[in-house]
Structure formats: structure tokens, C-alpha cells
Amino acid sequence: MTGAIATRAAEVPDIVIDVQGLTKSFGGRPVVKNLSMQVHRGLIYGFLGPNGSGKTTTLRMLCGLLTPGSGHGTCLGYDILTQSAEIKRHVGYMTQRFSLYADLSVRENLEFVARVYNLDDPHAAADSAIRRLGLENRASQLAGELSGGWKQRLALGACILPGPELLLLDEPTAGVDPKARRDFWDEIHTLAHQGMTVLVSTHYMDEAERCHEIAYIAYGELLAQGTVDEVIAHAHLATYIVTGPDLAELAERLKAMDGVDMVAPFGTALHVSGRDRARLDAATKDLREQGPQVWSPGEATLEDVFIDLMSRTKDNFA
Amino acid sequence: MSAGAGTDRSAVDRRTRGFRAALTRIYAAFIKELLQLRRDRITFATMIFIPLTQLLLFGYAINTDPKHLPTAVLIQDESSFSRSFVAAMQVSEYFDIRTRATSEEDLDHLILSGRVQFGVQIPAHFGRDLIRGERPAILVVADASDPVAAGGAVAALQGLTTIVFSRDLIGPVASRAPQELPFELRIHRRYNPAGETRLNIVPGLMGTILTLTMLIFTALSVTREVERGTMESLLSMPIRPVEIMLGKIAPYLVVGGLQAGLILGAAKLLFGVPVVGSLGLLVVLTLLFILANLSVGYTFSTIAKSQLQAMQMSFFFFLPNILLSGFMFPFRGMPDWAQAVGEILPLTHYLRIVRGIMLKGATFVDLQVDVLALGLFTLAAMGLAVARFRQTLD
Ligand SMILES: Nc1ncnc2c1ncn2[C@@H]1O[C@H](COP(=O)(O)OP(=O)(O)OP(=O)(O)O)[C@@H](O)[C@H]1O
Ligand SMILES: [Mg+2]
């Protein structure tokens, strides 16, 4: 299969996903608005955003499962509006909800996928996938009886089986334990290293930081994209990290203040951020000088940035 | 080699390769469906259980020519004629003579109370009047509130009189032979001389049972994938709607064939229904009929939004099949519009085929119009299903 990828690699443009102005409405309600994005080959591209922001809808449009209301673009060089048959052949899509056959065994599911993609030897393909996934002991277990984490693994295995050039993963690690999550990401990185492009949606910040690039979408609009550092820098968020007693009380007071845009507890500390450093400084001057808490200047985290982005768009919508 | 020939050949190569690839994908769907079917114990049991119970239930229960009907006799003439008449009634199997009424009032009461369905009164001096040529009457009172039940027996009784009296009226009274008797009705039912409804009903049952089970199997197949969420994966894979359809229908063709075999076997063993014509032809055309119903079910499945809707559509289609196909009521007896509707339904054509082959020994040539109708119906349903199949989640 790697051979197949290699031969096609020459034809595949360096930009694997290139879409402009994608819009999708359900029953007159727009859920993805004017979305444009470019993803380069071999990158792991994280797709973040609150629930209902349109991540799944976007992924479905990219692989031909939904027809965009307007907009155009290409996926692996194929037109997303007219060449979805070709796209399906070269894209592996892992759905958010487990969508393999619960009443087929692990092996039967994998063989089914192998046959549908016309692999030469479905049995051998399933075998090697089972070995790679470490599912040897569970090969004949029904997929529906696997634990949540193993289901996710099987689903990823089934996606990778036909050797796609682009993986679209929709929250692949939801409900997966930390160790399995790390293995999962190691595997994704290995695949990317071999030239596969991965677009992965997630709600986990640590996973976002493992991506080469990220995009943040809220209420159907793409609000930020770039590397993690770029996204953080672009947000221009001034941040203090506060430690000491009575943080909960302090947080309540801060939230009401003008110039303070975001207050979030992180463990034993409180992150206090503002979009305008001067206003933030002015607003918190007394508190910083009086204590009893200790205020130190800090860096905004990705999560600070996302929460701020989300509250900003919510303000726009209100 | 010219460039033209080269491209021709590679085009042909590509097409054969494409065809093989398509077959592999159909095979993938076929195997998948078969495995799921095997895991689904309830469905699997239903496939065996439904046809057998229905056959037994309806084969025995629906009998439009019932026998052993409770009967009372009032004999007011102790002659040999009376005795042989009563004996003949008993032998006919239609009448189960339960009581001897003591008076006309008693007889009336027995019928009115529903304890017997027939009352037969042989009046006084019956034998004497008969010999004298005075054409005495035997009074038969039938409870005709269930006319279908009574019909066969009355007919049998009328036939009986001719036989009985032609035997007793010998010698000097031979001139009073049957042709002069007031009623003589010959029961003449072609292909089913005994008037046994089972012979007619059992092949029809085969058609209705297959219609119901086949419809439901495929009606659920696409909606089930949608409801379980597996459709999202399936649609993201490079398999075409036609391939999904064929892969999903094929296993049920096998199942339907087994079911038909089961019904045929039971029909022969339990009801003694013969196959007068070619068994091979019957099998092939039964498979065609099964395919027609699977296609309809599959079409419903592509239109319905849920399994419940698919079930409702199946029953909506099933009812006219039962009522207008000639299964329930004689086809030629229906009004023109009903016959026109009936002609569209697969069961109508299959009933002609199955009754034709099993009871009359019909051949392919006799049945070609019905075969053509079934074939066209199947193609139309499949075409509609492929056109209706939603390839996106919009
Ligand atoms: N088939 C559909 N019909 C109608 N509305 C839909 C449909 N699919 C999605 N939506 C709506 O579109 C919006 C975006 O949904 P989407 O599934 O893309 O969000 P998401 O970002 O994937 O959310 P989550 O993080 O919860 O998975 C939601 O409000 C959802 O209700
Ligand atoms: Mg989602």
C-alpha cells in the first residue's frame, strides 16, 4: 500500500485540502459559514471548537458526505463538488460516533473494508491491521462488545487499512485513556511522517498542542488558524497568573470588572486575561498591590485563547 | 501495433477490471449482510418460523369448503329410502349427523340455537310417494348465515340425491330414475375435483408468506444502517448504490429460496398438494418472485426515514397484495379498477404462476406474460431504489 501512496504522491498537490467559502445550512440555519482552509501535505491539522460549532459538518463536506450549500474547493486535487467518488477512494474518514458494524467481529469488519476498497488480499490486510492494532486476542470478538477505547482503535485501524492519503478523524480520542491516547497520537505522527495528511478534530488542549497547525471554529466561523504559537500570539491576550488564598472569591470579583475578559482557574492558580493590557493593568492595579494573592505576569495558554475567542463570538451573536 | 488498438485494448482492460472490482464490492456487502443475518438469532428464527406457522395456521384454518358440519335429521318415514339417504349423507363427509329430531319444532330449535348447521326432514310416506311417482320433497334447512360454509354441503347434498335414488330405484321403479328428480346439481370443479380449498390455498399462501417476509427483510436493511449510524461509514467508502443494493438483496434471495423450499415441502407432506408441472420452472420463477419483493422492500428502505416507516410502507403494500391479487377473492370477480390495480402487483402474477405450475401443469409458454410482468416490475423497483438511494447525509 505504501507503494500506491508513493506513486500518487507525485500527482497530489502539496496542498491537500484547499477549500474556499464553504457554507452549509440545515433547515435555513447556517452551521458552517464561509469557511476557507488550506492544509499542507504531511501535516497534522487540529480542528477545534465548542460543541455544535460545525466541525463534523465541515469534515463531512470535505469527504463528500454532505454537499456544501455554497463554496468550492479541492481535496487531494479532486473537486469536492463533483469528484466525491475519487475522494472516497483516497480519504479515510473516522466518524465521531462508532460506525463500524457492531454485530461483526473485528476481523470481519476489517475484511469488509478491505474488500470494499478492492485490496488484493483482504484476509492478509485484515491480519496485518489486527497485528498493528494489537488486537490479536480480540480478532474474533464482536466489534460492539469492545470497550470504548478499543472501538476507537479499531475504527482508526479500519480507516488506515486501505492506505489513504488523507485521514479525517472526528474526535478520535474521546473517552480514551491517557496511555491509549498517547499511543494513538504516536501512531498518527508516524503516519504523518510517512506522508499522510491528518485533519483531526478534538476538544483536548494537549492534543491541539501536538498538532502542527490548528484551526479554531465557533458558531460555524473559522476564527483562528496557524501554529499553536501563532494562534496564541495573534490573540494578543495579556495574562496574569494569580496564586494564594480565596481564589474563588477573587474570581467572582474579577469577572465583573471592566478590562478583564477572561478568568479561569488552573489547578491552584487563576488565569486572568484581558485583550487590552493597559485596561487590564488599570483594572487590577489595586488588587495586585494589596494582595493577599500573588500576581505574576504569565503567558496565555491555548485554552485561554479559545475561551476568549468563544466568548467574543458569543458577544457578536448576542 | 497502432495507437488506436492500444487504447481500445486498455479501455477494455479497464472495463473488465472495473467490473471485477464492482463484483468484489458486491461480494463484500453480501458476506457482511450474511454474517449479520446469521448473528441475528431472532430474524433467523423468524425466517423459519413465520412461513411454517403461517402455512399451518392458514392451511388448516382457512377452508372455504368445510366438512363434518353438525346436522340433525327428522325422519318421519321409516323406509329403505330414508335409511340409505341418511347413510349416504354420513358417507359424504359433509354432514356429521349428531341428533335425530323428534318433531318439526325440535328441528327448528336445533337450527335456531346454532347446535346444528343443517336440518334434514324426510316426510311421512316419502318412500311410498316416491314409488307412486308423486315426487315427494325432502326438506333441507341450512343455516345460511355463513353462506360459504353451507354452500359446499348443499351442493353435495343435491348431488347425493341423484346417486342414492338411482341405486334404490331399481326394477319396477327404475323409470323414476334421477333425470326426473327435482334437483340435480353436478359438482364439477376442474383441477380440484373434491373441491378441496387447500389445493388452491396452499400455493397462494406460499406467495403471500414470501411477499410478507421478503418485503420486511429488505425494507429494514437500509434504514437499519441509517439508524445504527453505520451508514455514515458505508457512504464514506467507495461502494456504489447499485453494489450496496445487490449485496444486500443477494443473501435474502438465498433465504427466500430456502423458505420457499420449506413451504413446498410442507405443502406436499402435510397437505398433499402436488406439483403437476415442472419443479425446476417453479423454483426459477419463485426466485424471480422473491427478487421482485426484495426489490420493493429495498426501495421502501431507501425512501423511509426510519425502520418504523419502512414497516408501515411494507404493510401498506402488503394489504392490496392480499386483497386484490386473487388470493382472497376470485380475481375475475373483482371490479375492473381492482383488477387493474391487481395486475401491477407481483403476487397476482405469481399466483397465476404457482397455481398454474402446481395444479395445472402449466409450462413457461403458458406463463410468459406473467413472467415478463414480474421481470419488469423487479427492474422498475430496482431502478427506483438506485435513483432514490441517498448518497449523502444531507
Ligand atoms: N443532519 C443535520 N440536520 C440538522 N442539523 C444538523 C445536522 N447535522 C448537524 N446539525 C447541526 O449543525 C450544527 C453543527 O453540528 P456539528 O455536528 O458539525 O458540530 P460539531 O462541531 O461536530 O460538534 P461536537 O463537538 O459536539 O461534535 C449543530 O447545531 C447541529 O445541531
Ligand atoms: Mg462533531
- Alpha carbon of B183 to ligand 2 centroid (Å): 84
Return the C-alpha cell found at A119. 485490496
In angstroms, the CA B298 to CA B222 distance is 7
Closest residue by Cα to atom 13, ligand 1, is A52
Whole domain around residue A139: which residue ranges? 3-231
- State whether A275 and A258 are in the same domain: yes
Q: What CATH code is carried by the domain that includes residue A265?
A: 3.30.70
In angstroms, the CA B93 to CA B182 distance is 23
- Rg over alpha carbons for chain A, rounded to the nearest Å, is 22
Burial label, A30 (beta-carbon count in 10 A; 0-12, 13-18, 19+): middle
With respect to residue A316, please indicate whether it lies within any of the assigned structural domains: no
Distance of CA B272 to the CA centre of its chain: 15
Beta-bridged to residue A167, according to DSSP, are A92, A198
Return the C-alpha cell found at B196. 378441496
SS3 B98: strand
Q: Which of A182, A211, A231 is the last residue of a domain?
A: A231
- Phi, psi torsion values for B226, nearest 5 degrees: -65, -45
With respect to residue A312, please indicate whether it lies within any of the assigned structural domains: no
Angle, in degrees to the nearest 10, between helices B197-228 and B307-324: 160
With respect to residue A313, please indicate whether it lies within any of the assigned structural domains: no
Q: In B355-379, which positions are buried (b, 16+ CB within 10 angstroms) versus exposed (e)? A: bbbbbeebeeeebeebbebbeebbe
Return the C-alpha cell found at B288. 424471480
Mark the ranges of chain B whose per-residue pLDDT is less than 50.
1-4, 171-173, 176-180, 182-195
- CB contact under 8 Å between A95 and B238, yes or no, is no
The owner of cell 408501515 is B312
- What is the DSSP secondary-structure string of A88-100? HHHEEEE-SS--S
- State whether A183 and A266 are in the same domain: no
Locate the ligand 1 atom nearest the alpha carbon of residue A66 and give its number.
Answer: 1
Residue of B nearest to A122 (CA): B28
With respect to residue A305, please indicate whether it lies within any of the assigned structural domains: no
- State whether A191 and A117 are in the same domain: yes
Residue A96 is predicted with a pLDDT of 93
Alpha helix stretches (DSSP H) within B229-345? 230-235, 241-271, 279-303, 307-324, 336-344
- Alpha carbon of A12 to ligand 2 centroid (Å): 28
Residue A238 is predicted with a pLDDT of 83
Q: Does the bond joining B147 to the residue before it have cis omega, within 30 degrees of 0?
A: no
Calculate the alpha carbon distances from B306 to A15, B212, B215, B300 in Å: 40, 19, 15, 10
Residue A197 is predicted with a pLDDT of 95
Locate the ligand 1 atom nearest the alpha carbon of residue B394 and give its number.
Answer: 1
Distant-in-sequence, close-in-space partners of A25: CB < 8 Å, separation ≥ 6:
A31, A69
- Among the listed ranges A33-47, A50-64, A107-121, B72-86, which one has the minimum average pLDDT value? B72-86
- State whether A149 and A259 are in the same domain: no
In angstroms, the CA A144 to CA A141 distance is 8
Mutate to test the pocket of ligand 1, among A47, A55, A60 (most ligand atoms within 8 A of CB): A55
pTM of this structure: 0.79
- State whether A47 and A187 are in the same domain: yes
Beta-bridged to residue A239, according to DSSP, are A273, A298
- Rg over alpha carbons for chain B, rounded to the nearest Å, is 30
- Per the model's pLDDT, the better-predicted residue between A317 and A92 turns out to be A92
Angle, in degrees to the nearest 10, between helices B80-91 and B147-168: 130
- State whether A188 and A244 are in the same domain: no
Nearest to A113 by CA among A124, A126, A102: A126
- Per the model's pLDDT, the better-predicted residue between A21 and A253 turns out to be A21
- Measured between beta carbons, the chain A residues lying within 8 angstroms of B238 are 85, 88-89, 116-117
Nearest to B323 by CA among B309, B339, B310, B300: B339
Could you read off the pLDDT of B224-248 as tens digits, one per residue?
999 999 999 999 999 999 999 999 9
- Measured between beta carbons, the chain B residues lying within 8 angstroms of A31 are none
Question: Residue B70 belongs to what H/E stretch?
Answer: strand B69-75
- State whether A204 and A220 are in the same domain: yes
CA dihedral B230, B235, B236, B241 (to 10 degrees): 140
Q: How close A26 gets to chain B, by Cα (Å)? A: 8
- Per the model's pLDDT, the better-predicted residue between A40 and B104 turns out to be A40
In angstroms, the CA B220 to CA A196 distance is 38
Residue of A91, A99, A113 for testing the chain B interface, max B β-carbons within 10 Å: A99
Q: In B204-231, which positions are buried (b, 16+ CB within 10 angstroms) versus exposed (e)? A: bbbbbbbbbbbbbbbbbbbbbbbebebb
With respect to residue A311, please indicate whether it lies within any of the assigned structural domains: no
- State whether A150 and A131 are in the same domain: yes
A140 CB near a chain B CB, below 8 Å?
Answer: no
Which residues form ligand 1's pocket by a CB distance below 6 Å? A 26, 31, 49, 51-57, 96
Residue of B30, B221, B233, B243 for testing the chain A interface, max A β-carbons within 10 Å: B233
Q: Which of A231, A265, A286 is the last residue of a domain?
A: A231
- Measured between beta carbons, the chain B residues lying within 8 angstroms of A108 are 32, 35
In angstroms, the CA B381 to CA B295 distance is 6
Query: Hey, what amino acid is at A166?
Result: L
Residue B66 is predicted with a pLDDT of 65
Give the strands of the sheet with B95-100, arranged side by side: B95-100, B69-75, B118-122, B139-142
Q: What domains can you pick out in chain B, each with its CATH number?
A: 69-190 (3.40.1710.10), 197-393 (no CATH)
With respect to residue A309, please indicate whether it lies within any of the assigned structural domains: no
- State whether A226 and A243 are in the same domain: no
A25 CB near a chain B CB, below 8 Å?
Answer: no
* Cβ–Cβ pairs < 8 A, chains A and B: 76
Nearest to A295 by CA among A233, A235, A237, A239: A239
- CB contact under 8 Å between A112 and B236, yes or no, is no
- Measured between beta carbons, the chain B residues lying within 8 angstroms of A95 are 229, 232-233, 236
Number of domains in chain A: 2
Q: Are A218 and A47 in contact (CB under 8 A)?
A: no
Q: What CATH code is carried by the domain that includes residue A171?
A: 3.40.50.300
Beta-bridged to residue A215, according to DSSP, are A47, A225
- CB contact under 8 Å between A64 and B392, yes or no, is yes
- State whether A73 and A210 are in the same domain: yes
Q: Which of A190, A212, A231 is the last residue of a domain?
A: A231
Q: How close B26 gets to chain A, by Cα (Å)? A: 8
- CB contact under 8 Å between B239 and A116, yes or no, is yes
- Tell me the pLDDT of chain A averaged across its residues: 87
ipTM of the assembly?
A: 0.85
Residue A192 is predicted with a pLDDT of 92
- Alpha carbon of A86 to ligand 1 centroid (Å): 25
Q: How close B187 gets to chain A, by Cα (Å)? A: 58
With respect to residue A307, please indicate whether it lies within any of the assigned structural domains: no
Mutate to test the pocket of ligand 1, among A23, A24, A29, A31 (most ligand atoms within 8 A of CB): A31
- Measured between beta carbons, the chain A residues lying within 8 angstroms of B235 are 65
Q: Are A208 and A202 in contact (CB under 8 A)?
A: yes
Residue B381 is predicted with a pLDDT of 93
In angstroms, the CA A93 to CA B341 distance is 46
- Per the model's pLDDT, the better-predicted residue between A112 and B162 turns out to be A112
Residue of A nearest to B40 (CA): A103
Give the side-chain half-sphere CA count within 13 A for A126.
19
Cβ neighbours around B287 below 10 Å, total = 15
CA dihedral B15, B17, B19, B21 (to 10 degrees): -140
Residue of A100, A118, A121, A145 for testing the chain B interface, max B β-carbons within 10 Å: A118
With respect to residue A49, please indicate whether it lies within any of the assigned structural domains: yes
Residue B217 is predicted with a pLDDT of 86
Q: How close B36 gets to chain A, by Cα (Å)? A: 6
- State whether A200 and A70 are in the same domain: yes
Measured from the alpha carbon of residue A54, the closest ligand is: 1
Closest Cβ–Cβ partner in A85, A99, A101 for B36: A101
Beta-bridged to residue B69, according to DSSP, are B95
- Per the model's pLDDT, the better-predicted residue between B329 and A11 turns out to be B329
- State whether A53 and A156 are in the same domain: yes
